Structure 1
Amino acid sequence: MSRGIPRVRAGECHVWIADAVRVPSLLELLDARERARHDAFVRDRDRALYLTAHALVRQLVAAQLGTGPREVVFTQVCRHCDRPEPHGKPGLADSSLEFSLSHSGDRVAVALSLAGPVGVDIEETARQPDLPQTVLAAVERAELERLPAGRRALGFTRYWARKEAVLKATGDGLMVEPALLTVSAPGAPAALLEWRKRAEPHRAVRLHDVDVGNGYRAAVAVLGDECRVVCHTARYDGDGTLRTAPAVTVTSDRC
């Protein structure tokens, strides 16, 4: 059940944020493969994240297609190999609707777009003392070093969410070395500044930061023309009903 899922219009990207929940009735929305994947997780926290993200994307996509969540059929396409098992960027057959999902900590993000291929990434703020700076370009590492020590974890997480969003939108994922991408500094508006060795032809990348609250950083990337980004928050009741809050429309580089 759901309340108030708006339709995505041409030239729009909708981003949905929700907290992970443990609501057994949501399992009924998943297909057999998704349920098996859910059951394979050892930790309750991981099961809740997976369940919430996949139930949410099914409900959101179903509302756009005018069908039931269980009737949604996903495809997966990998740009880099032809292994027979399903893997790679998720999509929909016979629909121009693009989507992406991500989860981290206790929060999930789903992006829907009719403006072009989309990628969303949400990351719990990095806490480790030794950040894996090999994923950063040289100019990004230098910028991170200029930050006060107490702000470097936040800065790194901002960098990482932006890069992940771009690579998910293009369908490359981590098959492309993240250090080949240079994104704007953590305190600057989100933008892809350079992509070394990127194969032509390619589409313009529209990159936006997403405000998901303290302890997290998130970004969404859309390929193609400029688009309007609309941000939503959602929550699940104990019976699995999805409820939404008023949307925030964004016309600049942030939401």
Structure 2
Amino acid sequence: MSPDIPRVRAGECHVWFADAVHVPPLLELLDDRERARHDAFVRASDRALYLTAHALARQLVAAQLGVRPTEVRYVQECRHCDRPEPHGKPRVAGADLELSWSHSGGRVAVALSLAGPVGVDIEEVAGEGKVADLSAAVLSAVERTELERLPAAERARGFIRYWARKEAVLKATGDGLMVEPSLLTVSAPDAPAALLEWRERAEPHLPVRLHDLDAGDGYRAAVAVLGTRCPVARHEAGYGGDGTLRHPRRGVTTSARC
């Protein structure tokens, strides 16, 4: 294992953040399907986000398994349909390691877990217009009331906090946006992260351990782990021009509220 990539131990979750880059050597880490998806993006910024997230995930998983990044294999499972093409929540083939990734704006996040199924989401803070457009579809009645209580200048950040928490939960359970986010109620933006209610569904899964994460200025992020309470270690990484993962820094370790 690379000395720069700490091992994820039993009962732990690690979340890595990085700025998106488009370094040609990273393309060599992707498989044929990933490269085709990368090439299909029209905007250079989207190609950079996709490349960084997938290359970083392969490097992190490879370091945990003691293999080369090109040897990492994924399987994808969808809870809601049986379409033959691979889609849905990714899992590492032949390993207990759980995986999730996300990207937004110019940042990516990759979560690895040996504590249970994991979902991570990072979101760039949007303007007030986006909040007005999406609140009714995304937030529960309780959440809309809480958001209205915030000063107008704080509502965009509050909404994105809600959105990142919900996406993290739905990624962890494997439901994704096949489930309406408004069915979930999470804690208020200024309160510790927690899933409070999931309407129209009894306890559907292991307990949800939800954490807010520092994703950098202008971003909000959250990670959800299903199962027992677990520590979450935050890491920040960057890339050199040759595609080398450089200067990883370990941040504060936190534990989730029940």
TM-score (norm 1): 0.96
Q: Is the 8 A contact 2:5 2:248 kept in 1?
A: no
**CA 1:73–1:108: 2 relative to 1, 3 Å:** same
1:34 and 2:37 equivalent?
no
Provide the rounded CA distance (Å) in 1 between the counterparts of 2:143 and 2:254.
Answer: 26
1:100 and 2:100 equivalent?
yes
Instruction: Within 5 Å, give how 1:1-255 maps onto structure 2.
Output: 4-131=4-131, 132-134=134-136, 135-253=138-256
1:214 positional shift: 1.1
Local SS of the residue matching 2:255 = coil
1:246 positional shift: 2.9
Provide the rounded CA distance (Å) in 1 between the counterparts of 2:43 and 2:170.
Answer: 28
Provide the rounded CA distance (Å) in 1 between the counterparts of 2:128 and 2:37.
Answer: 28
Number of paired residues?
254
1:108 positional shift: 0.1
Structure 2 gap ranges (5+): none
Provide the rounded CA distance (Å) in 1 between the counterparts of 2:94 and 2:3.
Answer: 26
Partner AA of 1:9 in structure 2: R
1:249 positional shift: 3.7
Structure 1 gap ranges (5+): none
Local SS of the residue matching 2:28 = helix
1:198 positional shift: 2.2
Return 26-35 or 2-11, whichever deviates more.
Answer: 2-11
1:130 positional shift: 4.3
The CA RMSD measured in Å over matched residues stands at 1.4
Q: Is the 8 A contact 2:230 2:256 kept in 1?
A: no
Partner AA of 1:133 in structure 2: S
Partner AA of 1:138 in structure 2: A
Deviations 1:138-196 (A, max 9, x none): 01000101111111000000000000000000000001110010000000000001111
Provide the rounded CA distance (Å) in 2 between the counterparts of 1:112 and 1:246.
Answer: 16
Partner AA of 2:89 in structure 1: K
TM-score (norm 2): 0.95
Provide the rounded CA distance (Å) in 1 between the counterparts of 2:162 and 2:149.
Answer: 14
Partner AA of 1:207 in structure 2: L
1:36 positional shift: 0.6
Percent identity for Structure 1 against Structure 2: 75
Q: Is the 8 A contact 1:2 1:243 kept in 2?
A: no
Q: Is the 8 A contact 2:20 2:106 kept in 1?
A: yes
Q: Is the 8 A contact 2:209 2:224 kept in 1?
A: yes
1:199 positional shift: 4.7
**CA 1:46–1:122: 2 relative to 1, 3 Å:** same
Q: Is the 8 A contact 1:2 1:241 kept in 2?
A: no
Provide the rounded CA distance (Å) in 2 between the counterparts of 1:62 and 1:245.
Answer: 16
Provide the rounded CA distance (Å) in 2 between the counterparts of 1:128 and 1:78.
Answer: 33
**CA 1:38–1:230: 2 relative to 1, 3 Å:** same
**CA 1:2–1:52: 2 relative to 1, 3 Å:** farther
**CA 1:149–1:128: 2 relative to 1, 3 Å:** closer
